[in-house]
Amino acid sequence: MLLIAGIVVSLPAHAHVKWFSMMANCATTPITTLDIVSSPLFVGLAFAAFAAMFAVAAIDGRISRGDNPAVRSAAWVDHEAANLIAPLLRIGVAIYFVSIVIYFYESPIILTAELKTNAAWVPALQLAIAATVLARRSAILAAVGIVVLFAYSVSRYGVFHMLDYPFFLGVAAFLGIDSIYGQKRQIQGLGILRVTVGVSLLWCGVEKWLYPNWTLELLQTDLRVLLATGVSPKLIVMGAGFVEFCLAFVLIFGRLASQIAAAVLLAVMISAIPLVGTLDLIGHLPILVVLIILAATRNPIGRIAPEPGQRWHNLDAAFSFIVSVPGFIAAYYLSHEIVYGSFGKVNWTEVLVAGVLLALLLVWIVRTAPETFRQVYRLNPTTA
């Protein structure tokens, strides 16, 4: 029963609701930070998630340290995949942009299904990206093209809407770095790719909490088969957000667990395709390719994490997650209020609560991020 519930909860976590929901509109008011963090269902799931993440940190730290079959296997796969990573991503990007030009021929899109456009130059640029990305030397032109499409999407749909999709900038960054440096800076490119994909998924997880009706609509249409299991729709939606958030967090900060998280995300996304259809397959193609890459490669961010005092390191990892959940909720809510809200109508109590939670997240980021990324930058293929 627990396994069935887990599958039911996870499937809607990875069908991107903005592509299918008729009511999805970023301009509408989300549930407030205070309402979410004080919800009994949210609090109960949050405690379960915190306990699970503490256990994951402990197990991941123990398994990833030292010499054992799991570590040796991960190192072997990472080594064997090194020459295949960039070509696989370039081919995936090429297939994606050709696919969206063909599939959306009558109603062109910019980068994803809900980003519509009538501009004739967009399909032409998409085909140019597909052509130039296939060769490493010219892939930097494709990277510039992706950034141009992202900037155009921001100009049409706004910064807030595009906070769902920083992984496109990560893909562009990897392609540009690989085009210029080849494998000399592959670890750094993979680090950027991992963080941007992870942040995209974290943000989308929060979106399910603050806009639950979007996912509920999807459950009543494309995923209505899941309702036949008898699991509460509210539990499915809230749980889907936690599944996505937890896996994304481990994807960014885990060691061996980051590769497992990538594989689980990949499996869940693929399992949702028969339920949701061709659009889900085409729309998720870039991130599916990226997840294959991340499942095969070790995480430089997790690998430079401090060694034990193991107990305190596990507590620090769990605390990081505890800070991140309300912090990202606050970031989402405040970002929405800044972009769409009217400060004359703002509930300042809500803003204060969100501000404090966001401040805690920012303090943690400032405390940990600079040294982490300095160490990642120093890594190279011979010492990694």
pLDDT tens digits for range 258-301 = 999 999 999 888 887 777 778 778 888 999 999 999 999 888 77
pLDDT tens for 311-364 read: 445 566 667 788 888 888 888 888 888 888 755 566 666 667 777 777 776 666
Mean pLDDT of 201-225: 78
pLDDT at residue 6 in the model = 44
Q: Using omega within 30 degrees of 0 as the cis cutoff, is the peptide bond preceding 309 cis?
A: yes
Per residue in 31-83, pLDDT (tens digit) is 888 888 888 999 999 999 888 888 888 888 788 777 778 778 888 888 888 88
The whole model's pTM is what?
0.85
Where is 214: in which H helix or E strand?
helix 212-219
DSSP 3-state assignment of 231? coil
Q: How far apart are CA 194 and CA 192, in angstroms?
A: 5
Pick the more confident residue, 360 or 213. Answer: 213
Question: Helix, strand, coil: what percent of the chain each, to 5?
Answer: 80, 0, 20
What is the structure's pLDDT at 174?
95
Which residue type sits at 363?
Answer: V
